[in-house]
Amino acid sequence: MKSTRSIKTFFFASLTALWSMNSAANPETSRIMVSDVGFATPESVEYYAAEDLYLVTNINGSPFDADDNGFISKLSPDGKVVDLKWIDGADSNVELHAPKGMTIIGNKLFVADITQIRVFELPSGKQLSSIDVKGSSFLNGITPADGDSVYVTDTGMKPGFESSGTDAIYKVWTNGKIETILKDPDMGRPNGILNDNGDIYVVFFSSAKMVKMNEQGEITEMPEPYGARLDGLVKLKDGSLAMSSWESSSIDVYRNGEYETIAEFLNSPADMDVDTKRNRLLIPLFNEDKVLILPL
């Protein structure tokens, strides 16, 4: 049974108080809000375990404009900016317009950028390639597939955040091969995506919906989440799934067939990741130019 909003609010307020009390004793278990550091519409945070850093994509303008001014920041686990524009579309050797979701496979960083998948070398940040996903309009969520490939969602939006009718899920390889897993203009704007050992979970922006699917595009409907305008989707240490909702301004966790809210009153929580070393949730706040580091 769902908990009432008042109980969840009390629970979150109590946790916030406890985090504040414990911050001096143990900074790594404290809630950190990173703000006023130069972020410009942060859409995604990725834990870069090899360097123990957080990477942050910055759209820096309209999420639809091919203006080549997007950038990716490096953030330390204590909330300090290491390099604000580590990868910068303004550089002559980089093309990066409005970067959204990203994921790391081995020594490569994959970034969804409007209709392109950008591939960068790690740790150098050198741009290796750009893969054009023809027929797409708003590539958004991304997750490792198998080998040197990723799954990516096309949320199917055009300027004004209206439907473009291109809603789809693709599998993309670094050699440029592209496979359409599912394409349907009535899909409901797929956003966050997670590959969990072959089970592909997807959350949607236009409705409170999460599905599980296989590589053939066969879908199993999951219990309805608390809110719509779902964005980030990650797997936590205990195997549960955490998702961010713009509608309910919350982070909700799905475990054992039920949902539980673990954070509330968040303005535009977008594409998250987990710091697996410290067991933290890394949450970009799209409309506030902030990143929340939330202990779990």
% of the chain exceeding 90 in pLDDT: 88
* Residue 13 phi, psi (nearest 5): -60, -40
Strand, helix or coil for residue 8: helix
Residue length, the chain? 296
pLDDT in tens, 156-211: 999 999 999 999 999 999 999 999 999 999 999 999 999 999 999 999 999 999 99
Better-predicted residue by pLDDT, 4 or 182: 182
- For residues 200 and 185, give the distance between their C-alpha atoms in angstroms, rounded to a whole number: 19
Which two tokens mark 294?
């939330």
* Per-residue confidence band for 26, with pLDDT thresholds at 50, 70 and 90: low
Q: How many CB atoms lie within 10 A of CB 204?
A: 23
Which two tokens mark 293?
């580091």
- For residues 129 and 258, give the distance between their C-alpha atoms in angstroms, rounded to a whole number: 41
pTM of the model: 0.90
- Within 13 Å and on the Cβ side, how many CA atoms surround 227? 23
Which two tokens mark 172?
């993309």
* Residue 22 phi, psi (nearest 5): -90, -5
Average pLDDT value for the chain: 92
Q: Give yes or no for residue 10 having a pLDDT over 80.
A: no
Q: Hey, which residues does 261 pair with through a beta bridge?
A: 252
Rounding to the nearest 10 degrees, give the CA dihedral for residues 141, 66, 69, 33: -30
Q: Residue 111, class by beta-carbon neighbours within 10 Å (0-12 exposed, 13-18 middle, 19+ buried)?
A: buried
Cis geometry, peptide bond prior to residue 284 (ω within 30 degrees of 0): no
Question: Any idea which of 20-29, 48-57, 134-143, 162-171 has the lowest mean pLDDT?
Answer: 20-29
Question: Any idea which of 22-31, 132-141, 198-207 has the lowest mean pLDDT?
Answer: 22-31
User: 41-68 burial, b if ≥16 CB within 10 A, otherwise e?
Assistant: bbbbbbbbeeeebbbbbbbbeebbeeee
- For residues 236 and 238, give the distance between their C-alpha atoms in angstroms, rounded to a whole number: 6
- For residues 246 and 203, give the distance between their C-alpha atoms in angstroms, rounded to a whole number: 12
Rounding to the nearest 10 degrees, give the CA dihedral for residues 139, 144, 147, 148: 40
